[in-house]
Amino acid sequence: MSDRPMIEIESVSKWYESFRVLSDCTTAVGRGEVVVVCGPSGSGKSTLIKCVNGLEPYQEGRILVEGVEVGAKGTNLPELRAGIGMVFQHFELYPHLSVLENITLAQRQVLKRSKAEADERGRALLARVGLAEKERQMPADLSGGQQQRVAIARALALDPKAMLFDEPTSALDPEMIHEVLAVMSELAAEGMTMMVVTHEMGFARRVANRVVFMDEGRIVEDVETEAFFTAPESERGRDFLSKILNH
Amino acid sequence: MNYSFDWSVIWEYRELITRGFINTVLLSLLGLIFAALLGILMGTLASVSSRRLRWIATIYVETARNIPLLIHMYFWYIALAYLRLPAFACAVLGLSIYSGAYVTEVVRSGIAAVPRGQYAAALATGLPPFAAMRHVVYPQALKIVTPSLAGLASQLIKDSSLASVIAVAELTYEAGAIEGLTFRTFEAYIFVSLLYLALVTIVSQVLMLLTRSRKSETISVSEG
Ligand SMILES: Nc1ncnc2c1ncn2[C@@H]1O[C@H](COP(=O)(O)OP(=O)(O)OP(=O)(O)O)[C@@H](O)[C@H]1O
Ligand SMILES: [Mg+2]
């Protein structure tokens, strides 16, 4: 039972009207495993990870998080989502709340922590992502890299069992990418279960256990990281790699 | 023109004017509260993904907004006659339903102006849909639409004068009464006009102040 994967995706298909975004996707993320999802633009990477925490519904197949089926009728989605942190390309910090309030909102509303408890946890997390002195600032006053680190702290505040990242560094200036990847690498080293959509192949190669390569809504490859980088099985995988590594 | 003003009638009929003023304030206040509640509810329905719920909001807005307020007043007064509701309650109902349609449109546009990703991010942290709206979407939407809402509030105060047609003793009705008793048309209407002007100015200034202090509140929290 305990060696059951944290996230199981079984033959999942999804349509937008008549357009098939996901076709028969199957993969899994084990406890403490880091899986990088990559593929060309529009291949369905964001859609796939949004299905994992039920932000997007799927029409066929099953997704299980710790054995709980995301798409089942009786599933308590808020509870399931509270156990999975998510980080977005455009940070999505709440602009009307201070940095600390961004991190305490869900702790107080969802976990019902007291203000003192939530603040304490929030400060500890801000220190951890290197932003201890920013708690009173508004998000708009921070750089992109700082905002994304706050967003990671916000997700961690609920003590999630897994983290989903959707291109966390694609909206950042090059000099800020590193500080965000550093926080993510640290998380991975601590044993966090992570599913990461990214085009940062250096990060993938260093941190990921497996790489899932998607194209046109299908999972084309799902292999050990080294295998993907040294000898991608598919033509499309090879193509993608050569483009992204030589751009 | 040698009309000679006689402002003493205002003092003479001060009780009527006071009563009218109080009723106008009450009518406007209740109208504002119910129109706001109705507008938030319907404006939210208008923003959800379910087509059926959006239809409810659309039908409400189109019917309520495209029927003149005067008819709303008569309609509720006559339709609810068998309930023996006081005219005042009918006026509150008519005013709220009519203005609520405008509030709905403003709320809908405010919600639409908040990026979708904000709501998704709130859901992703485990907030249930209502909490995500309450803590993340509404506050941002409110900031965007405050000027429009202040405009609707002044409109509603002026619109409350139409309650006079169903004999609610508010300001306009009392002005008519004084005119009937004294034939001092100008004095009566000029004076109530000044009262409306004062009321509308105060309410819109207060609304603006409220949102401004709300903003400085978040800034002061963030700085100390
Ligand atoms: N709400 C939607 N309605 C219709 N089609 C959509 C919607 N969202 C996404 N799509 C389509 O689904 C496909 C997959 O989108 P998705 O965002 O998952 O791709 P992606 O792999 O994340 O791409 P990118 O690298 O550009 O982020 C795209 O063709 C996109 O146009
Ligand atoms: Mg994407």
| Residue A15 C-alpha from the chain's centroid | 22
Contacts of B122 in chain A (CB under 8 A): 94, 105-106
Contacts of A155 in chain B (CB under 8 A): 124-125
At B217 the three-state DSSP class reads helix
For the Cβ of A225 lying below 6 angstroms from any atom of ligand 1, the answer is no
Give B35's Cβ-side CA count (13 Å radius).
33
Contacts of B224 in chain A (CB under 8 A): 136
A18-57 pLDDT, tens digit each:
999 999 999 999 999 999 999 999 999 999 999 999 999 9
Distance of alpha carbon B202 from alpha carbon B194, whole angstroms: 12
Please count the other Cβ atoms lying within 10 Å of the Cβ belonging to residue A61: 17
d(CA A225, nearest CA chain B) in Å? 28
Domain boundaries, chain A: 1-83+161-247, 92-160
B142-173 pLDDT, tens digit each:
999 988 999 999 999 999 999 998 888 999 99
Mutate to test the interface with B, among A109, A115, A138, A163 (most CBs of B within 10 A): A109
CB-count exposure of residue B41 (10 Å: 0-12, 13-18, 19+): middle
Structure tokens that stand for A148 in this block: 């994304």
pLDDT for the residue B208: 78
| Residue A20 C-alpha from the chain's centroid | 23
A88 and B121 within 8 Å at the Cβ level: the answer is yes
For the Cβ of A41 lying below 6 angstroms from any atom of ligand 1, the answer is yes
> ipTM of the assembly?
0.94
A105 and B121 within 8 Å at the Cβ level: the answer is no
Contact yes or no for B107/B48 (Cβ under 8 A): no
Distance of alpha carbon A155 from alpha carbon A53, whole angstroms: 13
A139-191 pLDDT, tens digit each:
999 999 999 999 999 999 999 999 999 999 999 999 999 999 999 999 999 99
Quick one: pLDDT band at residue A110, thresholds 50, 70, 90?
very high
pLDDT for the residue B224: 31
Which long-range contacts does B193-199 make (Cβ < 8 Å, 24+ apart)?
Answer: B195/B17, B195/B21, B195/B24, B195/B171, B196/B24, B196/B157, B196/B158, B196/B161, B196/B171, B199/B24, B199/B25, B199/B28, B199/B157
Contact yes or no for A38/A211 (Cβ under 8 A): yes
Contact yes or no for A130/A143 (Cβ under 8 A): no
Domain boundaries, chain B: 21-215
Please count the other Cβ atoms lying within 10 Å of the Cβ belonging to residue B82: 7
Protein residues near ligand 2, an ion, with CB under 5 A: A 46
CA of B50 to the centre of ligand 2 (A): 24
Which ligand minimizes its atom distance to the CA of A39?
1
Distance of alpha carbon A9 from alpha carbon A65, whole angstroms: 9
- Which residues pair with residue A162 across a beta bridge? A84, A193
CA of A55 to the centre of ligand 1 (A): 14
Domain B21-215 part of CATH 3.30.565.10:
no
d(CA B206, nearest CA chain A) in Å? 21
CATH top class, domain A1-83+161-247: alpha beta
CA of B113 to the centre of ligand 1 (A): 21
Q: Which of A92, A109, A138 sits opposite B131 (nearest CB)?
A: A109
The pLDDT tens digits along chain B (224 residues) read: 678 888 888 898 899 999 999 999 999 999 999 999 999 999 999 998 889 999 999 999 999 999 999 999 999 898 877 888 889 999 999 999 999 999 999 999 999 999 999 999 999 999 999 999 999 999 999 999 988 999 999 999 999 999 998 888 999 999 999 999 988 889 899 999 999 999 999 998 888 787 765 554 444 443 33
Contact yes or no for A101/A157 (Cβ under 8 A): no
Distance of alpha carbon B30 from alpha carbon A33, whole angstroms: 58
Which atom of ligand 1 is least distant from the CA of A167? 27
Contacts of B140 in chain A (CB under 8 A): 94-96
Name the phi and psi angles at A18, rounded to 5: -100, 0
Structure tokens that stand for B104 in this block: 């709905």
At A5 the three-state DSSP class reads coil
What is the strand order of the sheet A68-69 is part of? A19-29, A7-16, A60-65, A68-69
